[in-house]
Amino acid sequence: MPKYTKQIVVFLDILGFSNMLPEFEREALESNVVDDDSYHESSSLNRLLEIFQESIRWINERRCNYYLFSDNICITIDYVVEESEQAGLFLEIMQLVNLLNYEFIKEGYFIRGGIDAGWFLDSRKMAAGLPLLEAYRLESKVAIYPRVVVSEGFLKLLAALRESESFSKDDEYTLDKILIEEEGISYVNSLLYIQNFEDSAGKVDFLNAYSDKIRAALLKFSGNTRVGPKYEWSAERFNGFLEDYIQRQTEYELSETWREAELLSIRDFKIN
């Protein structure tokens, strides 16, 4: 029988998915030649499903369990492991969130979510427990903007691991930057995923994708007083990150990865 175990639980929602359903249906019904391979097919929805399938591959590589339903992804992982591995799981789950976030951003989809940890019933047929309830609450009531918020319980467990010096020096450096705290809300710094690209070309593509998709969302929802401010928030955070990144690289960390002129040129990605 399924048993309760201590799990990290992530709940993610694709913003605007319900508004896209009529478009997916219209696209599918316009393809109305019965003998055609594309009969009643929505290429836009199929592309989104491909991203989901890629997400499953990345999740499986990290020993996580998952549940997909409509526009939501629930990811869980047991954190009762060897002490030497436990700290890495907490950091890894946030890095996985950033990977998924980037893959969806490249296709023009923004995600919002919550992360909690605690006792959880995780089986093939059922997922139940307070961490899922809390992660859903954080996504639906607290996050508001395209961001993934972490719970107080998750932060306490993370603090205990740091106090016990469970993290390496490199991981401690990442932890100092992977969580942002604003007005009592802590959320994952999705832009820190830029660290995963070793060359400047990859970093440029990363920043360009964010800049381009945020601009597109601002244009699409200009005049929409309910949705527009969410992407204005994203633009402000992106601009702040960009300026801080350029300053840090220029003053402290400039290396062979960047030529100074090339580094300064990425200011063009700033969203006005």
pTM of the model as a whole: 0.88
Contact (Cβ atoms closer than 8 angstroms) between residue 254 and residue 260? yes
Query: How confident is the model at residue 162, as a pLDDT?
Result: 86
Residue whose token pair is 């139940």? 128
Contacts of 238 (CB under 8 A, 6+ apart): 191, 210, 211, 214, 271
Between the alpha carbon of residue 85 and those of residues 16, 78, 155, 163, the distances in Å are 37, 11, 18, 16
How far is CA 13 from its chain centroid? 10
Contact (Cβ atoms closer than 8 angstroms) between residue 180 and residue 186? yes
Query: How confident is the model at residue 252, as a pLDDT?
Result: 63
Query: How confident is the model at residue 207, as a pLDDT?
Result: 96
Residue 251 one-letter amino acid: E
Query: How confident is the model at residue 83, as a pLDDT?
Result: 64
Query: How confident is the model at residue 112, as a pLDDT?
Result: 97
Name the nearest CA neighbour of 112 among 22, 202, 190, 215: 190
**pLDDT per residue of the chain (272 residues) written in tens, 0 to 9:** 778 889 999 999 988 777 777 787 888 888 776 666 667 888 877 877 787 777 777 777 777 888 878 778 899 988 877 666 777 888 889 999 999 999 889 988 899 999 999 999 877 777 789 999 999 999 999 999 999 999 999 999 999 888 888 888 888 888 889 999 999 999 999 999 999 998 888 999 999 999 999 999 999 999 899 999 999 999 999 999 999 988 888 776 555 667 777 788 899 999 98
Name the nearest CA neighbour of 154 among 97, 111, 90: 90
